[in-house]
Structure 1
Amino acid sequence: MNERLQQFLAAENINQAQFADSIGVARASVSHILAGRNKPGYDFLISMMKRYPELNIEWLLSGKGKMYKNAVNAAGARGGTQSPAQINLFEDLPDFFGQELPAQPEQESVPEPQHLPKTPGETPLSAQDRDSPANTGAMEGKKQEISPEPAVRQRSAVKIVIFYDDNTFQEF
């Protein structure tokens, strides 16, 4: 039965996850059935029959007969038409590709990093300050006690992503 189920998935052109979602079972249960670890239960078969009424259940269970109940469904499932889940998938969404993008705001320049003193008592001096006579005498005798204050940088959110329980998301 595992091989026939794999043949059915190939004929419908869907993967295991899409199949599991379409019949309303856990993805792991389909994986276990296809791997031969578990056998399909009653609920699995009933939900499969409800979702795919054109599937010949006798073929699935015993291998007798054809995959589909009639030839029209067999031709349609093998690529002649799209499955119902694929027909109007993105019809209700607006077309963003035809729109022009708004003008990009100018990016702010990133400020140069501030160099903090190596020890708490030292303060960094520019070349001009080091050479001035007022500072040379003051620095020889004592060190200035200054506690450096951490620089607070303003931040703003760039992207917000919301994940929904039906495995979809939106970016803002």
Structure 2
Amino acid sequence: MTIRNIWIITIVVLGIIGLVIVEGFVNPTIEAKQDQYQAEQQNPLTHDFTVLAKYRSPYMGDNSNLSHLNQALPLHEKLNGYQLYLGTFTAQVNYSLDTREMNAEELERILVYNAVANFVMIDNLQTVVYQFENTSQTLRRESAQQWTGTELKELQNPELWNSTVREKLVEPTQVKEAFSQIVDN
């Protein structure tokens, strides 16, 4: 066997070992981390609020921006379209979900979290209507601001967001209180 053949065999063996390492260990680790991150994005208590900054807008009339914002929030896998009512500064977010299929406390936590996030990121949005297959929930900016006790624009700071919103949605009694204060039904 010539030296050239030995080099070729060595390179092929190293390539196969590298392929096994990448496909057998590296890629599954990366995919597991991505899956974990995606799962965390479904829960308001673990959601990455910082990803919402790019959807900041002074005006609610940009349907594409509103769509992308809500696709980055919990419950996005059940989204089923939007309707904007510019005259009343209202956004209707439609879901293909029967609310009886979900834990009521978790749904209330998600709705409060999502609505406040919409109000924080879109300056002139006054009302969000969450339309489900069996019901609808209306949440208002003024009520959200009263619940947070601060100007909603200030909550764009992730630390302030966590202390003012996320930490108030941990306990079931806090979720019920927040939901009853913000929802206008």
**Band of TM-score, shorter chain:** under 0.3
Task: Select the structure with the greater relative contact order (CA < 8 A; seq sep ≥ 6).
Answer: 2
Structure that is richer in strand per residue: 2
TM-score w.r.t. length of structure 2: 0.21
TM-score w.r.t. length of structure 1: 0.22
Q: Which has the larger radius of gyration?
A: 1
